[in-house]
């Protein structure tokens, strides 16, 4: 069992648990003693591990409740190739890291279908709108999703050839089933499970997330990706920021 005086608990995993529909920090709050709650932090942002290992310049955000602890952790993690910013919006940082994986799957599908830059630009822009809408419903700060753990992580995950989530979407866009794609992978694409949990939570809370919903229909109901794209394009017309 963890000592109450433990200096810090830094979570680097991303996702929402399917059974409880909770973020990882919420699960840690439930499982750890009250004395440890202010020590719970999340590290997230546009950071592929293989690039960090090669000392490629990388910038992330570390979030938690204790500002003094965050400053200390910034000093611990930062060096000439790895820079950290701090945030007290831990729920926003967690949600950005979890939901962007779903949008990255959608980005892979778009690429697999052979669509171009216009489509990708629209997808990423409307994707961050959905992430922000979801996060604010969970009491996150809107500005968090314009930062490293939001749009920054989304861009990196959605366009990188090293992204497992993008790979899943790309192969599905090319015509493979989810089962076929997963059987070919040695590692887990976190966005697959997150799609189901986020879709369920969005429905429960009444949050409009059309891109997430279409990814869910493709992954779990075998909907044709072309039809999913058509349905997105033919949705009711509205103001951009309504």
Q: Which of 14, 65, 72, 100 is catalytic?
A: 100
CB 134 within 8 A of CB 141: no
User: Is 100 a known active-site residue?
Assistant: yes
User: What distance in Å separates the CA atoms of residue 47 and residue 33, rounded to the nearest whole number?
Assistant: 30
What letter would DSSP give residue 16?
B
Are 123 and 151 a contacting pair, CB within 8 Å?
Answer: no
Tokens of residue 100, six digits: 């962007």
Give the CA-trace dihedral at 171, 174, 178, 179, to 10 degrees: -90
- List CB contacts of 153: < 8 A, sequence separation 6 or more: 44, 45, 46, 47, 96, 97, 100
Contact 67, 153 (CB under 8 A): no
CA 21/CA 202 separation, integer angstroms: 10
CB 149 within 8 A of CB 96: yes
Gap between the Cα atoms of 186 and 176, Å rounded: 17
- Give the catalytic positions in this structure: 100
């Amino acid at each position: 069992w963890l000592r109450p005086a433990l200096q810090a608990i830094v979570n680097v995993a991303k996702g929402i648990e399917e059974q409880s529909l909770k973020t990882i920090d919420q699960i840690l709050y439930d499982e750890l003693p009250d004395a440890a709650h202010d020590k719970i932090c999340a590290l997230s942002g546009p950071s592929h591990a293989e690039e960090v290992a090669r000392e490629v310049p990388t910038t992330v955000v570390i979030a938690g409740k204790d500002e003094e602890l965050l400053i200390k952790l910034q000093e611990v993690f930062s060096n000439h190739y790895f820079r950290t910013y701090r945030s007290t919006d831990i729920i926003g940082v967690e949600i950005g890291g979890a939901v962007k994986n779903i949008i990255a799957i959608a980005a892979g599908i778009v690429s697999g279908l052979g669509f171009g830059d216009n489509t990708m630009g629209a997808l990423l822009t409307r994707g961050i709108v959905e992430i922000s809408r979801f996060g604010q419903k969970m009491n996150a700060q809107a500005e968090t999703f314009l930062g490293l753990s939001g749009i920054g992580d989304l861009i990196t995950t959605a366009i990188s050839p090293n992204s497992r989530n993008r790979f899943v979407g790309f192969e599905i866009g090319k015509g493979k089933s989810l089962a076929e794609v997963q059987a070919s992978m040695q590692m887990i694409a976190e966005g697959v499970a997150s799609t189901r949990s986020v879709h369920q939570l969005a429905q429960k809370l009444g949050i409009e997330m059309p891109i997430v919903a279409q990814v869910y229909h493709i992954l779990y109901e075998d909907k044709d990706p072309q039809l999913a794209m058509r349905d997105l394009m033919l949705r009711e017309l509205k103001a951009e920021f309504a």
